[in-house]
Amino acid sequence: MKPIIIFGVGQFAEVAHFYFTRDSSREVAAFTTDDMAMAPQQLLGLPVIPFSEIAAKYPPSSYDMFVAIGSSAVNRNRRDKCACMKSLGFTLASYASSKSIIWTEAIGENSFILEHNTIQPYTRIGNNVIIWSGNHIGHHVIVEDNCFITSHVVISGGVTIGEGTFLGVNATIRDHIHLGKYNVIGAGAVILKNTRDEEVYSSKSALRHPATTHEQDEISA
Ligand SMILES: CC(C)(COP(=O)(O)OP(=O)(O)OC[C@H]1O[C@@H](n2cnc3c(N)ncnc32)[C@H](O)[C@@H]1OP(=O)(O)O)[C@@H](O)C(=O)NCCC(=O)NCCS
């Protein structure tokens, strides 16, 4: 396994460094960014290299890359940077937590799967898919490239998640439906039907007036 360079200097980059160094056979050699004006010279004791110099100083023959960009522009920024890395010749590294239960080997490059995920058999996870902690991804699910699944999402069996889709915390997806490409599924949304491409879906807000909460407290007391 080659050591890796992490693209990014934000919180996702720090989290990626944490998991790769503690729970994988990968060593992290450096960070890189194309915004040196906003970057520190070092991060977590490692050098931060201008992206324009990375292939010369850390060539793809000796180093792999992990792109640690969040869901900005509905995952398109991370998608585009992964394509850029591949055009430079880098292989993209993936991470899967030893504390998740993963019953598929069909997981693409630049994927990042944190702890307490259950991924059932016959499921396919595409390239550049970020799966944060504590999700259920049922059997025969297809997660297409460039998706971001946050936390405590339930994806029922046989669902297809279209390319680039973002799933907010606690979203619930009914079995055997198809989410479109580049959807934003809001926190707590319950999706029962197929969705169209490039749309935002959220549930009616569950926020309650404080007086209502107070009344409820009195009743239960
Ligand atoms: C759906 C979402 C994308 C909308 O974002 P937005 O356009 O910035 O919306 P706003 O925060 O301005 O809220 C607009 C209105 O929608 C409501 N709303 C926002 N998100 C909602 C949600 N998930 N469910 C129900 N109502 C929601 C707000 O209460 C607000 O209502 P109001 O106008 O009556 O006050 C976003 O709220 C969301 O759910 N993102 C996912 C967050 C998440 O899971 N983060 C995890 C990161 S690890």
Do 99 and 116 contact (CB within 8 A), yes or no?
Answer: yes
pLDDT confidence of residue 213: 38
pLDDT in tens, 156-177: 999 999 999 999 999 999 999 9
Count the helices and strands in the chain (H runs, E runs): 4, 22
User: Quick one: pLDDT at residue 206?
Assistant: 55
Q: Is 186 in the pocket of ligand 1 (CB under 6 A)?
A: yes
Using the mean position of ligand 1's atoms as its centre, give its distance from the Cα of residue 138 in Å.
26
**What spacing in Å lies between the alpha carbon of 131 and ligand 1's midpoint?**
20
- CA gap 9, 70 in Å, rounded: 12
User: How far is it, in rounded angstroms, from Cα 13 to Cα 204?
Assistant: 33
Domains of the chain: 4-87 (3.40.50.20), 95-200 (2.160.10.10)
pLDDT value of residue 142: 98
Distance from C-alpha of 150 to C-alpha of 169, rounded to nearest angstrom: 5
According to the model, what pLDDT value does residue 97 have?
98
Of the candidates 112, 81, 79, 76, the one whose C-alpha atom is nearest the C-alpha of residue 94 is 112
pLDDT digits (tens, 9 = 90+) for 5-29: 999 999 999 999 999 999 999 999 9
Global pTM reads 0.92
Amino acid letter for position 175: D
